[in-house]
Structure 1
Amino acid sequence: MSMGFTGLNRTTSNIEPRTVNYSRSNGIDEIDDIRYINDIEYEAIKDELFGEFGFTIDQITEMQGLSIAAAIHKTYPTTASGSSLASSASASSSSSSATVVGNDSRTVATKLLICCGSELLGKSGLVAARHLKLFGFRPTIYNPTPGRTPHYHRLIRQCQEFEISFLSYLPNESRLIRDSYDLVVDVMDDYQQSLNTNNQEILGKLVDVCNAGTPVASVDVPFGWSANDGPPRSSGGIGGAGGEVMPVLLPECLISMIAPKMCAKLFTGRHHWLGGRFILPSLSRKYKLNLPKFVGSEQIVAIDTHCY
């Protein structure tokens, strides 16, 4: 299925750290020395946001979810006919997963599979699904381990009321996922727990889908990666039982939150965005984040020239 998106087949052997200095040719200020933070700094920033500065989980979840949706919309827009997406859809209507929106045959809805974890980012994925439905996409949610908090269940209820479908399991054949969705959004925020058997099985299916050409957009830390060290390279890194190497998810798009994590230096995809436009100037100075300027009312900013 060709929907105008290209998945990138890459191996970990050619992953090298990126430079942190990006030149701009589109009028956006050049971003010099943007700070890549480790997991300890990330947790410290969150503690200050929720503690001293009085933010609530509900607030952060909503703002991050809108950022995710904005990045998806800008990178993979649902478009009118004449675009590569719509042209491909009309050329292969029997197998395409793009569908007509309303009675307007000129517009197709991009089908998304949004995989959500149970923690803060997973909640933000549920919020993103809600916004993406309003933006004209057709999201489906897969949350293998739903959060147990009342807040999580409220977000699920809201998605249900927006008539967003939920998957109870991922098909064993990755072909079924590939043929049903145009884009997979990885918000499986449980990366620190991603070595258990169930999560490794999910990761393997997502990697198969990615390798088959379906683009994957990951939020903050790609599923199976270490926030500090990036993707596993060998059994000496992150591996399964008996030294078995875990499958490696190599997304086409990365949406960092608050500040890019150390692992983002090893991201080799085409699109890298920063979301989470709520960091106080005092926090930015304290942690020397050197965050880029957001333009106007934009909820995201490109931190890699490949975004354009």
Structure 2
Amino acid sequence: MSPSGAFSLDQLMELAGLACAQALSKTFPLPAHKRVMVCCGPGNQGGDGLVAARHLHMFKYKPTIYLPKPGSKDIYQRLLRQCENLKIPVLRDTTEFESGLKQHDVILDAIFGFSFKPPLRSPFDKIIHSLRSSNLPILSIDIPSGWDVELGPQRLETQPDSEGKTSVVDTFDPEALISLTVPKMGVREYKGRHWLGGRFVSEELDEKFQLNLPDYEGTEQVVELPQGGQ
């Protein structure tokens, strides 16, 4: 998108994160879902989550960011500082995260993107298990963390421990999903509320790649898609 569309990574991440925040606000409106646990991985997916956390704060939600392994890139660190400047709480410990879930109303899943490949490494094995076992509703960004981008839900083998032993972790089914730019093949049968965000694709690119993107109304940054692959 960037070379042909002339967008920088900063711009794309900002637009994506804003769309994610708007999708969450539409799916889980105030005041019933005010406390949001934003789970961020170390890559661009996590960056989208940080942007979303900032916008959710501006929307009068109370986000808390969980960073098990913060990204090292400059753009990631700047996005994190923006959130810290707003006094958005940041958790880094898995135990804090697990206990903190009890004080939240909804989870924003920004851990893994479409480029994720098994095996599942620590502490993400525990995190995926916690998300699956939590009773809180989840909104996932682009593709639920751990899903295969083409095949969808899968069982994840963990990285071998010090004794060479592995285990299997099941992925989770979020209550809502926001696909970015275009829905991925792996979510074509997704049954929950499904949003599309990333309002930056030109008509030229839409026609060139036959994306058949739906129209966004007015100033909306998201559009709701039919459920269950309809």
Q: TM-score, normalised by structure 1?
A: 0.67
Equivalent residue, structure 1, for 2:119: 195
Q: Which has the larger radius of gyration?
A: 1
Equivalent residue, structure 2, for 1:35: none
Residue 173 and residue 279 in structure 1: after superposition, are their counterparts in 2 closer, same or farther (change >3 A)? closer
Residue 134 of structure 2 is aligned to residue 182 of structure 1: no
Residue 167 of structure 2 is aligned to residue 167 of structure 1: no
- What amino acid sits opposite 1:284 in the alignment? D
Equivalent residue, structure 2, for 1:37: none
Match of 1:120 among 38, 41, 44: 44
- What amino acid sits opposite 2:130 in the alignment? K
* CA RMSD in angstroms, aligned pairs only: 2.0
The answer for unaligned runs of 5 or more in structure 2 is none
Query: Contact 1:172–1:205 at 8 Å: present in 2 too?
Result: no
Query: Contact 2:21–2:56 at 8 Å: present in 1 too?
Result: yes
- In the TM superposition, residue 78 of structure 1 has moved relative to its aligned partner by 1.1
Equivalent residue, structure 1, for 2:183: 260
- In the TM superposition, residue 155 of structure 1 has moved relative to its aligned partner by 0.6
Which SS does the other structure have where 1:246 is aligned? strand
1:68-79 maps to which residues of 2 (within 5 A)?
A: 68-79=20-31
Residue 221 and residue 171 in structure 1: after superposition, are their counterparts in 2 closer, same or farther (change >3 A)? same
1:147-166 maps to which residues of 2 (within 5 A)?
A: 147-166=71-90
- In the TM superposition, residue 179 of structure 1 has moved relative to its aligned partner by 1.7
Moved more, 241-250 or 163-172: 241-250
Query: Contact 2:190–2:227 at 8 Å: present in 1 too?
Result: no
Equivalent residue, structure 2, for 1:276: 198
1:91-130 maps to which residues of 2 (within 5 A)?
A: 110-130=34-54
* Number of aligned positions between the proteins: 221
- In the TM superposition, residue 244 of structure 1 has moved relative to its aligned partner by 4.3
Residue 151 of structure 2 is aligned to residue 239 of structure 1: no
Residue 85 of structure 2 is aligned to residue 133 of structure 1: no
Query: Contact 1:115–1:184 at 8 Å: present in 2 too?
Result: yes
Query: Contact 1:110–1:137 at 8 Å: present in 2 too?
Result: yes
The answer for unaligned runs of 5 or more in structure 1 is 1-48, 80-84, 86-108
Percent identity over paired residues: 36
1:26-45 maps to which residues of 2 (within 5 A)?
A: none
- In the TM superposition, residue 62 of structure 1 has moved relative to its aligned partner by 0.5
Equivalent residue, structure 2, for 1:60: 12
- What amino acid sits opposite 1:300 in the alignment? V
- What amino acid sits opposite 1:163 in the alignment? K
Residue 243 and residue 64 in structure 1: after superposition, are their counterparts in 2 closer, same or farther (change >3 A)? same
Query: Contact 1:195–1:224 at 8 Å: present in 2 too?
Result: no
Can you list the C-alpha shifts for 1:202-258, whole angstroms capped at 9, x where unaligned?
Answer: 21111111xxx210110111011111110116xxxx434678432221100001000
Separation in 1 of the partners of 2:211 and 2:14?
22
Separation in 2 of the partners of 1:207 and 1:296?
36
- In the TM superposition, residue 305 of structure 1 has moved relative to its aligned partner by 5.6
Equivalent residue, structure 1, for 2:132: 207
Equivalent residue, structure 1, for 2:218: 296
List structure 1 segments (4+ residues) > 3 angstroms apart after TM superposition.
Answer: 238-245
Which SS does the other structure have where 1:154 is aligned? helix
Which SS does the other structure have where 1:171 is aligned? helix
Q: TM-score, normalised by structure 2?
A: 0.89
- In the TM superposition, residue 190 of structure 1 has moved relative to its aligned partner by 4.6
Can you list the C-alpha shifts for 1:34-86, whole angstroms capped at 9, x where unaligned?
Answer: xxxxxxxxxxxxxxx2213321000001000100000011111113xxxxx3x
Residue 149 of structure 2 is aligned to residue 217 of structure 1: no
Which SS does the other structure have where 1:266 is aligned? coil
- What amino acid sits opposite 1:239 in the alignment? E
Separation in 2 of the partners of 1:149 and 1:256?
24
- In the TM superposition, residue 304 of structure 1 has moved relative to its aligned partner by 2.2
- What amino acid sits opposite 2:148 in the alignment? S
Higher relative contact order (Cα pairs below 8 Å, separated by 6+ residues): 1
